[in-house]
Amino acid sequence: MEAEAAGSPPGGVESALSCFSFNQDCTSLAIGTKAGYKLFSLSSVEHLDQVHGSNEIPDVYIVERLFSSSLVVVVSHTKPRQMNVYHFKKGTEICNYSYSSNILSIRLNRQRLLVCLEESIYIHNIKDMKLLKTLLDVPANPTGLCALSINHSNSYLAYPGSLTSGEIVLYDGNSLKTVCTIAAHEGTLAAITFNASGSKLASASEKGTVIRVFSVPDGQKVYEFRRGMKRYVTISSLVFSMDSQFLCASSNTETVHIFKLEQVTNSRPEEPSTWSGYMGKMFMAATNYLPTQVSDMMHQDRAFATARLNFSGQRNICTLSTIQKLPRLLVASSDGHLYIYNLDPQDGGECVLIKTHSLFGSGTTEENKENDLRPSLPQSYAATVARPSASSASTVPGYSEDGGALRGEVIPEHEFATGPVCLDDENEFPPIILCRGNQKGKTKQS
């Protein structure tokens, strides 16, 4: 195991890490600090290259990057009601919008940009940043919990439907209509996330003991996992792998859990005629006579793999990604470090920590180096599988590096809406002055 930085981040205004987020295809990490924000490449285990850094906006508490493009959305504590959208390679502001209360979270894909306040959600068209819809019937959502499918062809949005129970509202961001309501948990929601294709939705409650996965758009439960039984935890991060084969959950404890989404068939092979096999059948049959809560617990799947953190109680987020053709678990922590673990998807077990990077170290700042612009293709988390062929019929030519693919390569059609976002094109967005606005009293109400 190698480590670049074992100590605390250096002092000064930059030492306060206020936020961190992985981009939609897990190729980039963004962090916000008292001094501004930084963007890092995740294309290598050995090096954590800084792609961009800015000190123009201090005290950043939200920073989100659109895939591997140059579009970045920033919100600062100095102006917590204002969203700023930048083209960081050109150093220009695309637009800014002000809202009626503090911005709690922002989600974006190539079709929609969502701004979540405590009691409302604003849906923008990312092509021109025009406001399409304002959801005002949203229950109080003090943490700004919401999720957006990264596949813009459906652009499903999920948000809590109740302040006291684990109800999820599934909303279609394209048709701007409510799809269904899912009774996911008894307790209040703590985390929700879509898989890459937008066909599944995972959720966890504030208890943090059970994680459920639902099919989209019908909202039917398809998987149920038990994270633990002994203690309640605060789930801080919930994320699917890009191929939707794994689901990862981190919390305020020292353990990260990875679950495998295996398709259960009705025709199971016969158990071997052994004493243990016979007792196993008897035990499962007995669960039919136990109370429902106990029976459900017996049928819930346990973690396929785990990772041990060297800390607990720290804010953190995790993701599952393929780096240098191998499956990795990445954990960014408020202690100022990025932890990279190796995972063999065949064996599971405990993940091995192979690298620790300081988020405050002297990363390689190269404004024009886009070595993190890997194609936004749905990659196999097993990583031994070759990248899908580019000869698929449902493809369009890559427009630019900022489009999310290397120049000259082909991008899957589902990664672009009609008229792809091409941030190298000066005419892609209207003049800045026409894009600014104040969202008080001139919105479409739901």
What DSSP line would sit under 71-95, residue for residue? Answer: EEEEEETTEEEEEEEEETTTTEEEE
Domain ranges of the chain: 236-263+300-361
Cα separation, 281 vs 291, whole angstroms = 18
Residue 217, preceding peptide bond in cis (omega within 30° of 0) = yes
Cα separation, 421 vs 87, whole angstroms = 12
Beta carbons of 109 and 122 less than 8 angstroms apart: no
Cα separation, 258 vs 240, whole angstroms = 9
- Supply the pTM of this predicted model: 0.76
Cα separation, 296 vs 388, whole angstroms = 38
Cα separation, 236 vs 417, whole angstroms = 31
- Measuring CA to CA, which residue among 203, 187, 199, 195 is closest to residue 237? 203
- Measuring CA to CA, which residue among 186, 181, 190 is closest to residue 166? 186
DSSP-derived pairing of the beta strands 255-260 and 246-251: antiparallel
Residue 126 carries which DSSP code?
Answer: T
CA distances from 291 to 55, 187, 270 (A): 58, 20, 27
278 three-class SS: helix
Contacts of 333 (CB under 8 A, 6+ apart): 309, 311, 314, 315, 316, 339
Q: What is the pLDDT along the chain (446 residues), one digit of tens a residue?
A: 344 333 444 444 345 789 999 999 999 999 999 999 999 999 999 999 999 999 999 999 999 999 999 999 999 999 999 999 999 999 999 999 999 999 999 999 999 999 999 999 999 999 999 999 999 989 999 999 999 999 988 899 999 999 999 999 999 999 999 999 999 999 999 999 999 999 999 999 998 889 999 999 999 999 999 976 556 788 999 999 999 999 999 999 999 999 999 864 443 444 444 554 454 455 445 545 545 444 444 344 578 899 999 888 889 999 999 999 999 999 999 999 999 999 877 777 899 999 999 998 644 444 434 433 333 434 443 332 223 333 333 232 222 223 333 333 333 333 334 443 445 444 444 333 345 556 554 444 54
Beta carbons of 215 and 200 less than 8 angstroms apart: yes
Let me know if domain 236-263+300-361 sits in CATH 2.40.10.
yes
| Consecutive H or E run containing 277 | helix 275-286
Beta carbons of 330 and 338 less than 8 angstroms apart: yes
